[in-house]
Amino acid sequence: MLKIGIVGISGRMGHALYDCIVGMDGVKLICGIDRNQSSLPPGCSVEVKASPEELSELPDVFIDFTRPQCSLAVLRFAAAHNISYVLGTTGFDEAGRAVIAECSATVPVVMASNFSVGVNLLLALVEQTSAVTQDSDIEIVEAHHRYKVDAPSGTAISIGEAAARGRNVNLKDVMVVGRNGITGERQYGTIGFSSIRGGDIVGEHSVMFCADGEIVELKHHASSRATFARGALRAAKWLEGKGAGLYGMPQVLGLKR
């Protein structure tokens, strides 16, 4: 029985993970970490503490969809206590990514900007389409709920990286985020990003490959956070028996070795 701890159990993804774990074969939720314990999932009876140091029993794996500062603190604890990690938090800076790399040298970590099976298939298709449609202009549009704090979304960045790989360029060199005012003509080879924030949008991502005379559009629409929760739990199960390292969903899904 794989013992799981949810970091941010009172949040939206924490609730989704809790709902997916209940009744699932082979896994058992034993604890949660959250400073806010007034919004726990209905019926939640597991131990919930403000920090991992306070837990009376440690899990085999933490699943985390919170914010960078919280994630890095718990990840450091996990690395010190040989606990595997599924990391869905986005918005890390270079220093944060360095901490993740350091910790993954000690324990196995699956990190992804999006744990949806569909999104990971989309990334593979984007890379392939980008390579084939070399002369097209690429525009990425993403939409999320009003509470999301980073933009573009981590998934949109991953889509941009997939498109850049298809053309053997570095995303940082060709990335254009938002447009306003007199911007001049679109520069050839750039990859544009637009972000929408509003309501309770779970997550929408579209990629347009715009060429003279035709447009190819790839799109993913998430209607429920359950799709991300199921993917994260799939990753947690996949980590059993894995050695230290930083893994991604393509490896979990068998899309990449």
Residue 255's pLDDT band (cuts 50, 70, 90): confident
Question: pLDDT for 70-105, tens place per residue?
Answer: 999 999 999 999 999 999 998 899 999 999 999 999
Say if residue 256's pLDDT is above 80. no
pLDDT, position 217: 98
pLDDT tens digits for range 4-39: 999 999 999 999 999 999 889 999 999 999 998 889
**CATH architecture of the domain with range 117-222:** 2-Layer Sandwich (3.30)
Catalytic residue among 148, 172, 237, 242: 148
pLDDT of 220 reads 97
Q: Residue 178: left (phi > 0), alpha (psi -120 to 50), or beta? A: left
pLDDT in tens, 62-71: 999 999 999 9
Is 205 in the active site? no
Please tell me which residue in 144, 205, 220, 242 is annotated as part of the active site.
144
Q: What is the mean pLDDT of the chain?
A: 95
The CATH number corresponding to 2-111+225-252 among 1.10.10.60, 3.40.50.300, 3.40.50.720, 1.20.1280.260 equals 3.40.50.720
**pLDDT tens by residue, 146-162:** 999 999 999 999 999 99
Tell me whether residue 144 is one of the annotated catalytic residues: yes
CA distance 162 to 113: 13
Both structure tokens of 198 = 């509003």
* pLDDT category of residue 2 using cuts at 50, 70 and 90: very high
What pTM value is reported for the model? 0.81
Domain boundaries, the chain: 2-111+225-252, 117-222
**Burial zone of 226 (CB within 10 Å; 0-12 exposed, 13-18 middle, 19+ buried):** middle
pLDDT digits (tens, 9 = 90+) for 184-221: 999 999 999 999 999 999 999 999 999 999 999 999 99
User: What tens digit of pLDDT does each residue of 116-149 get?
Assistant: 999 999 999 999 999 999 999 999 999 999 999 9
pLDDT given for residue 257 in this prediction: 58
Closest CA to 70 of 58, 85, 56: 85
